[in-house]
Amino acid sequence: MSEVFDIQAYMAAGVERVVKEALRATLKHPKETAFLTKFALASAKGTKLRKKEAEEGLQVPAFLICSITSSCNLHCAGCYSRCNNATTDTEAVEQLTGEEWARVFREARELGINFIILLGGEPLLRADVIQAAGAMPDILFPVFTNGTFMKQQYFELFDSCRNLVPVLSIEGDREQTDERRGSGIYDKLMENMEKMKEKGLVFGASITVTKENREKAVSDEWLNDLEKQGCKAVFFVEYVPMDPESRAIAFEDEDRDYLMENVDRLRKERPEMMFVSFPGDEKSSGGCLSAGRGFFHINSHGGAEPCPVSAYSDINVRDTSLKEAVQSRFFAALREGSLLKEDHAGGCVLYEREEQVKELLNKLR
């Protein structure tokens, strides 16, 4: 009998590894070291709490992903959020307020969740939510941003609230970044990195990896440039093909193997930096980590969804507690079925099996 993979232990260990590697990388900066030392204790406490909850029949993931706004100022080529109409140019009505997001964060902490990724649209358009997150030092908040709204107020906020970790979206060199994100974006990102380096801030970079930039993403030359700017973490996000035309640049198995082999190499050769791959560990974890297996997503209107790419929900945190959302019938049905464990062409199994997801949700209504 093959050994059963413990997904909760896997995700908990991931949080602890983030903390340990960040500690090792930031000993020269007292503010960062002081925060991360305290956070390490909070993370260990959260791990114990989730383990106790699991023994009582409540499966709480180690991670939460929150899209705190549906508005964005950029039109990045192939953006999944725009393709599924989750992101628009203007601020949508009836989105969660700053107070409602603060409640979600408090309830997450009470459940033992210490790692919440903030997305958009462009999350820095919601200063009220970012400030609410900064007031919760027991939770680490990576903030995935396009970098265009990194004004002085944010540099000061990130300096005073070290649990907020900006993660700048970049596609490789200037040509690759500006081609996908718009002219001048690369130079703006470099300017932001220089300012954060001066303040001794821990920050990361996120690169959407395709067939076209996979070599650049893991190249020593490019990573050396990021490291010189002060970048301490790199998130490799596999491109999700949202239409037939874009499938040509989406990963196949050989591309995924290439990326993970290099991520493993980088973790060994560059211990001063942290490398995270989404969803690179799916195969070893026995399938997709969404729907509460390792994380789930809350959209800007409060809908609890399996993941950002699969925008379907049967429960809203505006009407219920986060604990009730964790116990979503939809999530439970996805976890108990075989869908999350199926092979797929790349990026997101739930998006590729969209009709099956909708059919499952309709049966629960």
Query: Residue 57 has which token pair?
Result: 């029949």
Q: For Cα atoms 235, 238, 243, give the angle at the middle one, nearest 5 degrees.
A: 145
- What does the alpha-carbon distance between residue 120 and residue 172 come to, in Å, rounded to a whole number? 21
Give the pLDDT score at 353: 79
199, containing H or E segment? helix 185-199
Give the pLDDT score at 193: 96
Give the pLDDT score at 97: 95
Give the pLDDT score at 106: 97
Sheet with 233-238, strands from edge to edge, namely: 274-278, 233-238, 204-209, 164-169, 141-145, 115-119, 63-67, 297-298, 304-305
Domain positions in the chain are: 7-364
User: Is the bond preceding residue 121 a cis peptide, omega within 30 degrees?
Assistant: yes
For residue 201, CA distances in Å to 71, 148, 158, 296 come to 26, 18, 7, 28
Q: Are 158 and 201 in contact (CB under 8 A)?
A: yes
For residue 2, give the amino acid letter. S
| pTM, entire model | 0.89
Which pLDDT tens digit goes with each residue over 202-241? Answer: 899 999 999 999 999 999 999 999 999 989 889 998 887 7
- What does the alpha-carbon distance between residue 204 and residue 198 come to, in Å, rounded to a whole number? 15
CATH topology for the 7-364 domain: TIM Barrel (3.20.20)
Q: What is the mean pLDDT of each run of 10 residues along the chain (365 residues)?
A: 47 58 61 75 90 93 93 76 68 87 97 94 95 95 95 94 94 91 94 92 92 94 94 88 72 87 91 79 64 89 91 94 95 83 64 82 84
| Radius of gyration of the chain measured on its C-alpha atoms | 19
Beta bridge partners of 88: 71
Pairing state between β 141-145 and 304-305: unpaired
Q: Is 107 exposed, middle or buried (0-12, 13-18, 19+ CB in 10 A)?
A: middle
* Half-sphere exposure in the Cβ direction for 267 (13 Å, CA): 14
